[in-house]
Amino acid sequence: VQIETEPDGLVLVGKEDDIIKSQRITAKVNGREVVVFYREGRFYALDSRCYHEGGPLHLGEIEDINGQPCIICPWHKYTIALETGEGLYQGVNPLEPSPTPQWQSKGVKQRIYKVTVQNKNVYVSPPDLSVSFDSDYFAEKYKNEGDLAMKK
């Protein structure tokens, strides 16, 4: 993947057709490892290192949970909504008479990135570091390490 910075600050991560074909790619955005997924007509971008312990989300499976696509971290199966970066867990409300576990949000844990498609190219917006997320710790930690094992 060739990375260029566009005049308006967006980072080119690949060709639309290529990402649709491969369904996922990884790229460096401001030095951070970012994964871009294509799923049912949409692109999603997030930090590729899981907020829990830095697991490789780019190697995870995607599952639909309550109608939202989520990435399941291959290390300890944490579930992260692709669209929002929310960490999801199954919990029981002890006040319910017959409790069945429901998916609940822990809040936004994984940093997500805005994706722009223009002229068949896919761009990711640089992170707004004035807001911080749990995944920033691992994004920083892996910044200066070598390339990801999986390029496409």
Whether the Cβ atoms of residue 38 and residue 19 lie closer than 8 Å to each other: yes
Q: For the chain, what is the total number of helices (H) and then of strands (E)?
A: 2, 12
Site string for ligand FES, 68-97 (x = CB under 6 A): -----x-xx-x-------------------
Please, what is the minimum distance in Å from the beta carbon of residue 6 to ligand FES?
A: 32
Tell me the two tokens of residue 107: 């809040």
Min dist CB 30 to ligand FES, Å, is 22
Q: How far is the CB of 50 from ligand FES (least distance, A)?
A: 3
Neighbours of 74 (CB within 10 A): 15
Q: Which residues in the 35-54 window bind ligand FES by CB under 6 A?
A: 50, 52-54
CA 87 to chain centre: 11
Site residues (CB under 6 A) for ligand FES?
50, 52-55, 73, 75-76, 78
